[in-house]
Amino acid sequence: MSPTPAPPSHPRGGGRKRFRGTIRDDAAPGKAGAMLSRTSPRTPQTRPSPAAPDREGHPPVVVADSLVKTYGPTRALAGVSTVIGAGESVAVMGPSGSGKTTLLHCLSGILAADSGSIELQLDRPVRVDGLDAAGRARLRRERLGFVFQQGMLVPELTAVENVALPLMLNGVDRSQAEAQASRWMAALGLPGLEDRRIGQLSGGQAQRVAIARAQVTDPAIVFADEPTGALDSRTAAEVMAALLESTAGRGRTLVVVTHDLNVARSCGRILTLADGRIVSDQRRPAPVGRKEAVR
């Protein structure tokens, strides 16, 4: 059982809510690497190397090669290749229809690419393109975290029940799952709101609940699709700070699709897509450094 810090105390009410330390999942979920079922026979023209760290020293955690995805006559991805390192915060930008959400969905196993390969370096390498729909669903449930624009929270459940849900789906006892969920809510500035329904929360509070839910299984990678798109600029900045500090700030990887340049600039790297291709890969000084665990 991994050690978990005592919930930090901090005042309720105004002020910027900041991540208050490292939370680890007490109950380790099943290993997605066991789902690897086959390898792709296609030989790529240019294959990103999964072995070497990038020039910033990040060991690779996502290696995508020559991804193609079409919808009828529309080619959403036209041979995308990229490597994302552990602990990186990566914003994916581009005009509507450029393929950015499709790329996020393929990297995370929500969609299957038509061709190309995707390897995630978790506790062991996992070829996402080698998994069937059930295998990809299990990978998402056990090993990855997700934050969406509208939160996609369950309104009939309380905030803590929403956060605990991924653990319970993975077989963790309800009391243990809710205790872990409460610790994450406290770490993200939501103490005392555990029993609120989603409709009783502000937009920023609801998105922090969504972030807590994404983090509660301690995923190596969090994928966020327009997580601030429905928020005002001040709340968006607070939510993005919480998301960055709870992912890249703990050495985890964040991939976020956004139209908001301020959100993109808060990340350490910006990928820009156009017509299904990466047209720019800009690295920036990382705004969030990896922090030591707070005990």
pTM over 0.85: no
Domain ranges, residue 221: 56-283
Q: Which residues have a Cβ under 8 Å from the Cβ of 76 and sit 6 or more positions away?
A: 69, 70, 99, 102, 276
**292 part of a folded domain:** no
**21 part of a folded domain:** no
At 92, give phi and psi (nearest 5°): -115, 120
**259 part of a folded domain:** yes
pLDDT tens profile 168-183? 999 999 999 999 999 9
> Tens-of-pLDDT digits for all 295 residues of the chain?
444 333 333 333 334 344 454 444 343 333 333 333 333 333 333 455 545 556 666 799 999 999 999 999 999 999 999 999 999 999 999 999 999 999 999 999 999 999 999 999 998 999 999 999 999 999 999 999 999 987 789 999 999 999 999 999 999 999 999 999 999 999 999 999 999 999 999 999 999 999 999 999 999 999 999 999 989 999 999 999 999 999 999 999 999 999 999 999 999 999 999 999 999 999 987 554 444 332 2
**22 part of a folded domain:** no
Distance, in Å, from the CA atom of 140 to the CA atom of 111, rounded to the nearest integer, reads 11
Burial class (CB in 10 A: 0-12, 13-18, 19+), 60: buried
How many independent structural domains does the chain possess?
1
CATH number of the domain to which 162 belongs: 3.40.50.300
**212 part of a folded domain:** yes
**18 part of a folded domain:** no
Residue 240 is encoded by which pair of tokens? 């993005």
pLDDT tens profile 127-141? 999 999 999 999 999
**247 part of a folded domain:** yes
Q: Are 178 and 167 in contact (CB under 8 A)?
A: no
**272 part of a folded domain:** yes
State how far the alpha carbon of 28 is from the alpha carbons of 121, 171, 229, in Å. Answer: 17, 10, 32
